Amino acid sequence: MPVMVLSTTINTTPEHVCQVIEAPSRLLEWVPNVTRVAEIQQTPQRMGDTFRATYSVLGLSFPTKYTVVDFARNKKITFKMEGALTGTFAWDVEPQGSSAKVEVRIDYVMKGGILGKAMNAMLVERMNEKNAERMLENLKMLCEAEAKH
């Protein structure tokens, strides 16, 4: 199971970063290759909330269902992924001076048996790493730009 852990510091409050991360409707603004977000079921408590996101990679679509399985307001949110990729997507956000330290941990398995594992080892894992890096860079740029307004 590939595991990616990435972190950055964003020059805004943890509350602002969490507002963006927790809003499925905003994924199209900062997550590479997300082409559609649908079926958003969101409550003030967040636990058990769900949505579906579709990723497009190499001309293929990967619909994925996300369910919130761990949540602490303005501190952390963990999504369980179900679909072509299964696993977890965990965000931890903590104050660091007047900024927010953000860490994302992605544990996933690509479905598809031997072909899926071979593709993953050769191509998808590298692409996922680059996309995760871009995702964090995009989140930083978006949050910092909004914080200036």
Report the distance separating Cα 61 and Cα 3, nearest Å: 22
Give the end-to-end CA distance of the chain in Å, rounded to a whole number: 41
Give the domain range for residue 50. Answer: 3-147
For residue 22, the domain's CATH number is 3.30.530.20
pLDDT at residue 109 in the model: 78
- Residues paired with residue 54 on neighbouring β-strands, in sequence order: 36, 63
Q: In total, how many domains does the chain have?
A: 1
Core vs surface per residue 117-126: b (16+ CB within 10 A) or e:
eeebeeebee
**Alpha helices, H only, the chain:** 14-21, 27-30, 113-119, 125-147
- The per-residue pLDDT for range 80-139, each reduced to its tens digit, is 999 877 899 999 999 999 999 999 999 987 766 544 555 555 666 777 788 889 999 999
pLDDT at residue 94 in the model: 96
Q: What pTM, to 2 d.p., does this model score?
A: 0.87
- The per-residue pLDDT for range 12-33, each reduced to its tens digit, is 999 999 999 999 999 999 999 8
| Whole-number Cα distances in Å, 83 to 11, 44, 63, 79, 86 | 34, 25, 6, 13, 6
Q: Are 8 and 99 in contact (CB under 8 A)?
A: no
